[in-house]
Amino acid sequence: MKYDLVYSVSISGKEIGYVENKTSFEERIEKEIINQEGSNIAFVEMTEEPQYNFQFVSKSIEINEEEVLQELKSTSEVTYKMYAVLLDGEQRSIVSSLEDAEKIVDDLEEEYSDSVDFKIGIQELYTKDKEEYEVTDIKTAENEISDELQEIEDSSVEGIYLACTPISGVITSRFGSRESIRSYAHTGLDVAAPTGTEIKAAADGEIICSEYRGSYGNLIIISHGNGVVTYYGHCSELYGEVGEKVKAGDTIAAVGSTGNSTGPHLHFEIRVNDEQVDPQNYLYNE
């Protein structure tokens, strides 16, 4: 015979080659494309279903099964799966396997759960672009998150995380210092900045005072729980009202020079169970 019985294979009506046995070729598609193994592969979809036509062809026609398979592979769509480690709902590091992510979570919860209030979890990530996410090894990921938790621990008082410095500026008077402007040791930290500079809440909480109060001038006080409150004095404007809930970083007032003040600055004070503590133990300590 001058002819062979083979299957021509087409995608989107275009013939891409010939295979001898449809059944064995489809088994190869299942194994080498649909269920292919590889780094972070979640699943593979065939974007074009092959069509087969059983026909006589000249014996001179080449059976090119490998080329046909590679053509089908190139038109398939791979979805990759990775795992993000979340800290308080935000992605912090991405690792390849669930086992790596679970180990990071377990290690960090064991090390910090008694000293830092945080939520750590795992999120599955799916992508068709493997380069979309930067995957790190378990040691790097754990170190990165550990550094952040250590920073939270260092900036926490009685379990309350002071996540935001109220303003940026020059420290002009430190906690405990004595100056001619006052007859007692300084109960907070003075940070000089231009009048009108926005003052941010240092941590989540509730405003319990928003008024003019003697030497403090215009004063905002926020209660953060666990006996922790913060004072923001000498303000030019007060934007928050008593009873208002605020988040760390919310604008609550503006820098001024009201009350017992010699120039525009923020008097920032931290109290724990009504006792003043040095703010630089938690903020402005670099």
pLDDT digits (tens, 9 = 90+) for 94-118: 999 999 999 999 999 999 988 888 8
CA neighbours closer than 13 Å in the CB half-sphere of residue 178: 3
pTM of whole model > 0.85?
Answer: no
- The per-residue pLDDT for 114 is 82
Q: Residue 53: pLDDT band by 50, 70, 90 thresholds?
A: very high
CA distances from 280 to 171, 187, 253 (A): 11, 12, 21
User: What CA–CA distance (Å, rounded) separates 30 from 18?
Assistant: 18
- The per-residue pLDDT for 1 is 56
For the stretch 200-258, pLDDT in tens is 999 999 999 999 999 999 999 999 999 999 999 999 999 999 999 999 999 999 999 99
User: What CA–CA distance (Å, rounded) separates 121 from 73?
Assistant: 35
Mean pLDDT of the chain: 93
For the stretch 122-159, pLDDT in tens is 999 999 998 999 999 999 999 999 999 998 888 999 98
The answer to whether 260 and 211 are in contact (CB under 8 A) is no
For the stretch 151-169, pLDDT in tens is 888 899 998 999 999 999 9
Report whether pLDDT(72) > 90: yes
- The CATH number given to 170-281 is 2.70.70.10
- The per-residue pLDDT for 48 is 86
Q: What is the location of CATH 2.70.70.10 in the chain?
A: 170-281
Rg (CA), the chain: 33
- The per-residue pLDDT for 2 is 78
- The per-residue pLDDT for 216 is 96
Q: DSSP string spanning the chain?
A: --EEEEEEEEETTEEEEEES-HHHHHHHHIIIIIT---TTEEEEEESS--EEEEEEEETTS---HHHHHHHHHHTEEEEEEEEEEEETTEEEEEES-HHHHHHHHHHHHHHHTTT----EEEEEEEES-GGGS----HHHHHHHHHHHHHHHHHTEETTEE----S---EEEE-TT---TT-SS---SEEEE--TT-EEE-SSSEEEEEEEE-GGG-EEEEEEEETTEEEEEEEESEE---TT-EE-TT-EEEE-B--SS-SSSEEEEEEEETTEEE-GGGTSS--
266: nearest Cα among 253, 255, 278? 255
Report whether pLDDT(172) > 60: yes
CA distances from 216 to 45, 52, 56, 277 (A): 67, 85, 97, 17
- The per-residue pLDDT for 176 is 82
